[in-house]
Structure 1
Amino acid sequence: MNTLILLLANLFILTGFYCSTRFMLTLFGLIVLFMLSILVALIVQYLRELLSKDHRPPVIGSVFTILIHFSHLFDYMTEIAKKHRTFRFVTPARSEVYIVDPINVEHILKSNFPNYTKGDYHKSIMKDLFGNGIFAADGDIWRHQRKLASFEFSTKVLRDFSTVVFRSNTAKLVNKVSESVVHNQNFDLQALLMRSTLDSIFKVGFGFDLDTLSGSDEASNQFMIAFDDSNYILYGRYVDVLWRVKRYLNIGSEAALKKNVKLIDKFVYGLIQLKREQMKKGKLEGDKDDILSRFLIESEKGPGKLTDKYLRDISLSFIVAGKATSANALTWFFYMLCKHTFIQEKIALEVKEATGAEYTYSIDEFSQKLAETALDKMHYLHAALTETLRLYPAVPLDGKCSENDDILPDGFKIKKGDGISYMAYPMGRMAYIWGEDAEDFRPERWLRDGVFQSESPFKFTAFQGGPRICLGKEFAYRQMKIMAAFLVFFFKFKLVDEHKEATYRTMFTLHMDKGLPLYAFPRPKA
């Protein structure tokens, strides 16, 4: 918003050199009138909702309150949620309701699922990047993609193929960290994890070796930067009441978003076209394990349904699911291991015992030992990853829209058109859900006699719940366990600045701000 005000001010000054004083006064009056009309509409709506006796959720503030606290939004929401399990903020057009009580979460995600959709509001914000991809879709489009994705994730072919890819790319990651160890240099683990997971999802999703980990491919590097920046800009639309004006004028963040999306489209459409050409030449027969190839084969059965635009939207959904979520979760995981070194050592010992590997093993030898049976034995690692996701969920807030009037299980009334978001980040910090030690990192809370025990998806919402529960949950755990096992087996990690507390960028996924600078040390060979 500050950028827009500055640009408008400069435009106003420049216009003054070429226009009459009367015209400039009229223009200035129109701008002031426009801004005042927005402010008056907000004040009227705010007072109306504040004075309502209709048993609506308590009003905490307006959309401008969220804007003020945007940089630390999820922690701000946590503090409110400790006082109010259900609350709302007011905009000129509607109320934005936020919930943390598991009974309410189950209501919107399962019990009354048809009433709570992504809605036109959320889709309008997300569409420029995600189009009609599964994260932004409703109705028949969502059901069609869900059906396709459900079939693909259930196949043994994809499971085996993805495991091979995860091992191969993580081996490259270990070599990359080893270079820093040899040169006694610190490194940004988050950046390396982002590149490694992007390489993996492109291999599994598209069948192409992107190799961003080497940093040699400029096009893929630009794609990754554009994708992350677009994610950040889109989330900012929730508090930027003038984003549509900025998009129309093609200025500020909206101009940057347009440029990013153009770059992203060129990159993804190029891959889709290359795949189509390979299919026409019959080159997919021996190499069709990736998701895009399987979707293209499916498109031949129903021509016209899976257009390049449709495949583009599906593909970007897989990228955000497979890259950003896993990499962000692993970043917070290693941050917590550095804060709790005894847990880091306990996981390293479990990996060693589960694989039967020795520290003298090479990367290839360890990879062979890291079989599915070994991964299944790593209950403490699984618990530590889950505990990380409890406190640092990949998607900290998830918004829906109410299609009709409703009453939540706690008795509060929801109006048609209200936004309603369940808050995974604050939920992980609620004492009434997890106990008085809710804000402590304690993997043991997930273990019973040493065996991992899951919780209700409406209490632990990192993978959502109900009909829209994440299909790639086991896929994500497999990737995270392989990467974590490799790294803790070969290295000990230490924060460059042990006194600095990590913070996040406020966006759709919980991205650590300014990266994760670490030192790595090889584990002793004896």
Structure 2
Amino acid sequence: MDEHIYKSTSSSGMAISMDFLSNPFSIPIITTTYLLLLLCLYVYSQQRKGKLTKKYHPIAGTMLNQLFNFHRFHDYMVDLASKHGTYRLITPFRYEVYTSDPVNVEYILTTNPENYIKGTYNHTILKDLLGNGIFTVDGDKWREQRKVKSHNFSTKALREVNTLIFRENAVELAHTLSEAATNNQILDMSVIFMRASLDAVFKVAFGMDPESMFGSSEESVRFNDFFDDASAMTLKRYVDVTWKIKKYFNIGTEAKLKENVKVVDEFVYKLIKIKTEQIDNNEDSRYKGDVLTRFLQFKDMSPQYLRDIILNFIIAGKDTTSSGMTWFIYLLCKHPEIQDKVAKEIKEVIKFKDVMDFTGFVNVMTEDVLEKMHYLHATLTETLRLYPAVPLGVKICAEDDVLPDGCHVNKGDMMTYQPYAMGRMKLLWGDDANEFKPERWIDENGCFRPESPFKFTAFQAGQRICLGKEFAYREMKIFASMILGCFVFKLDDENKQAKFKKTLNLHINGGLHVRVSKRAQ
């Protein structure tokens, strides 16, 4: 629970934010919200009596319920999804519709995607941090950015450059782990993976590594910390109706958000300046075809728009890998028998004897070799089922619509599908839905068996499917093959249960502290 949130005893046992209640605007907002609740309950009762013809999903609560449960936000949404499947929450301005039904998800993302957009509501909440980047825009701006970025994931030459980057980073990662194993040091793997993924995304996005840019990796770590804090405060805007008032008066979380975004901006603008100077000086890079160089070819782009594009790319590149690998190691520490099974497959497929020859080990990891690691792929996918990097997919309904289940969605309603909740639905995955079980992804021939992207929604689907899906899997498989083929991981505190940060992406709170030992030959 956030240190600024204290518990107040009530019949429901909810945790109430004293910061929220101390705001002079809170009481009238609470009163208004509950008056709206009474009105909506009246409307619902009329529907039940047949006096209204439209069918709507059940009401599961209000925005205040989300705020009271913000300390366990995603697990609270799992509770609602397990009870209702698809449901509504009431806010002062619109209905919020949440679904965990794959049929509805397919309709939103593929059948009628033009009607489910980011919209002004999402853009207003996200723009202070993410600007007009690909995660906040629709229409021409979205198509323009997606087209340019797709080039970095589609051509064979650029895939080869990316693979080279991942291999180099895997070797550096292995040396760090080897030193820790020799000296019996405790490592925070969340920091280790964050640095490795940031290093990779800088090379892909800018054609340079952060140490050559800044002389050390500390500035990039500082950027990441400030971004994560800004992300947490941005997420809270979805449940705090007073955020615009706080922003206007520059108080509370909004004042802190402004400070954090300033640090993030300074970092990104510095990167753009360095790269622009390199291009002007005709300095060559061994990492060809970087994203920023391609966007700099468009002479009419403002520095602000470049900032937005690059920041969104950095976020997309670092978060899936760093959060995914951190949860992956956490789950393997909790299930050492699965850790050993993954390591056994890696060693059998690679057939490289000297596991301390890191360069030789990683050079054996060709595309063909990685594709043979079905159990590793299943274990990574099972990790993302339980801990998707993006736990919620938030859209706005552009025009009145009817979902496949027969329920209506009104123009302006927020329409959200829930990767985190869907990964824990017994209706979708069986009674063992909460268990970490890679075997659910393996068929009778021992091969990886994919699921529908509308059931396993970690990478979205349809026209907005994640461009970097294969990019992320390739990076994670190279990292995982290297470190599990060479090392054994144990939690420093084996009784500790990991919690997630309350941010836009699903990171472990407080880090992941492990002990590393060298794996037997």
Q: TM-score scaled to structure 1, two decimals?
A: 0.90
For residues 277 and 188 of structure 1, what CA distance do their matches in structure 2 show? Answer: 36
With over 3 angstroms needed to count, the CA separation of the structure-2 counterparts of 1:436 and 1:287, relative to structure 1, is closer
> 1:288 deviation in Å?
3.5
Identity %: 48
Aligned to 1:102: 102
Which one-letter code corresponds to 1:226 in the other structure?
A: F
Which one-letter code corresponds to 2:326 in the other structure?
A: T
Runs of 5+ unmatched residues, structure 1: 10-30
For residues 417 and 360 of structure 1, what CA distance do their matches in structure 2 show? Answer: 57
With over 3 angstroms needed to count, the CA separation of the structure-2 counterparts of 1:172 and 1:317, relative to structure 1, is same
Aligned to 1:167: 167
1:476 aligns with 2:467: no
The 3-state SS of whatever aligns with 1:521 is strand
Which one-letter code corresponds to 1:419 in the other structure?
A: M
1:379 aligns with 2:377: no
Aligned to 1:490: 486
> 1:347 deviation in Å?
0.9
Runs of 5+ unmatched residues, structure 2: 7-16, 48-53
With over 3 angstroms needed to count, the CA separation of the structure-2 counterparts of 1:287 and 1:341, relative to structure 1, is closer
Question: Are the counterparts in 1 of residues 195 and 217 from structure 2 also a CA contact under 8 Å?
Answer: no
Which one-letter code corresponds to 1:345 in the other structure?
A: D
Q: 1:409 aligns with which of 377, 390, 404?
A: 404
> 1:356 deviation in Å?
1.3
> 1:6 deviation in Å?
6.2
Which one-letter code corresponds to 1:505 in the other structure?
A: K
Aligned to 1:198: 198
Q: 2:353 aligns with which of 350, 355, 358?
A: 358
Aligned to 1:48: 39
> 1:282 deviation in Å?
2.3
Count residues in correspondence.
497
Which one-letter code corresponds to 2:350 in the other structure?
A: T
With over 3 angstroms needed to count, the CA separation of the structure-2 counterparts of 1:2 and 1:351, relative to structure 1, is closer
1:435 aligns with 2:430: yes
Aligned to 1:516: 512
> 1:35 deviation in Å?
4.0
For residues 423 and 21 of structure 2, what CA distance do their matches in structure 1 show? Answer: 42
With over 3 angstroms needed to count, the CA separation of the structure-2 counterparts of 1:490 and 1:295, relative to structure 1, is same
Aligned to 2:326: 331
Deviations 1:68-87 (A, max 9, x none): 11111111111221111111
Which one-letter code corresponds to 1:495 in the other structure?
A: L
With over 3 angstroms needed to count, the CA separation of the structure-2 counterparts of 1:345 and 1:140, relative to structure 1, is same
Question: Are the counterparts in 1 of residues 188 and 511 from structure 2 also a CA contact under 8 Å?
Answer: yes
Aligned to 2:50: none
Question: Are the counterparts in 2 of residues 189 and 516 from structure 1 also a CA contact under 8 Å?
Answer: yes
Question: Are the counterparts in 2 of residues 359 and 489 from structure 1 also a CA contact under 8 Å?
Answer: no
> 1:307 deviation in Å?
2.6
Question: Are the counterparts in 1 of residues 86 and 100 from structure 2 also a CA contact under 8 Å?
Answer: yes
Aligned to 2:51: none
Q: 2:28 aligns with which of 37, 40, 44?
A: 37
Deviations 1:363-408 (A, max 9, x none): 1111211222211111110011011111111111111011111111
For residues 120 and 497 of structure 2, what CA distance do their matches in structure 1 show? Answer: 38
> 1:286 deviation in Å?
6.8
Which one-letter code corresponds to 2:448 in the other structure?
A: F
The 3-state SS of whatever aligns with 2:93 is coil
Question: Are the counterparts in 2 of residues 86 and 101 from structure 1 also a CA contact under 8 Å?
Answer: yes
Aligned to 1:349: 344
For residues 439 and 6 of structure 1, what CA distance do their matches in structure 2 show? Answer: 34
For residues 345 and 282 of structure 1, what CA distance do their matches in structure 2 show? Answer: 49
With over 3 angstroms needed to count, the CA separation of the structure-2 counterparts of 1:451 and 1:315, relative to structure 1, is same
Which one-letter code corresponds to 1:121 in the other structure?
A: Y
Stretch deviating more after TM superposition (38-47 or 323-332): 38-47
The runs of at least 4 aligned residues of structure 1 exceeding 3 Å deviation read 1-9, 34-37, 214-218, 284-288
> 1:416 deviation in Å?
0.9
Question: Are the counterparts in 1 of residues 453 and 461 from structure 2 also a CA contact under 8 Å?
Answer: yes
Deviations 1:392-428 (A, max 9, x none): 1111111101111111111221111111110011111
For residues 501 and 423 of structure 1, what CA distance do their matches in structure 2 show? Answer: 23
Q: Once superposed, what is the RMSD of the aligned Cα atoms? A: 2.1
For residues 379 and 355 of structure 2, what CA distance do their matches in structure 1 show? Answer: 26
> 1:104 deviation in Å?
0.6
Question: Are the counterparts in 1 of residues 118 and 138 from structure 2 also a CA contact under 8 Å?
Answer: yes
Stretch deviating more after TM superposition (43-52 or 142-151): 43-52
For residues 193 and 447 of structure 1, what CA distance do their matches in structure 2 show? Answer: 27
Aligned to 1:16: none
> 1:355 deviation in Å?
1.3
Which one-letter code corresponds to 2:193 in the other structure?
A: L
> 1:41 deviation in Å?
2.3
Aligned to 1:180: 180
Which one-letter code corresponds to 2:473 in the other structure?
A: Y
1:292 aligns with 2:292: yes
Deviations 1:479-512 (A, max 9, x none): 1001111110111111112222111112211111
1:144 aligns with 2:144: yes
> 1:172 deviation in Å?
1.2
With over 3 angstroms needed to count, the CA separation of the structure-2 counterparts of 1:360 and 1:473, relative to structure 1, is closer
> 1:231 deviation in Å?
1.1
Question: Are the counterparts in 1 of residues 174 and 483 from structure 2 also a CA contact under 8 Å?
Answer: yes
Aligned to 1:243: 243
Aligned to 1:153: 153
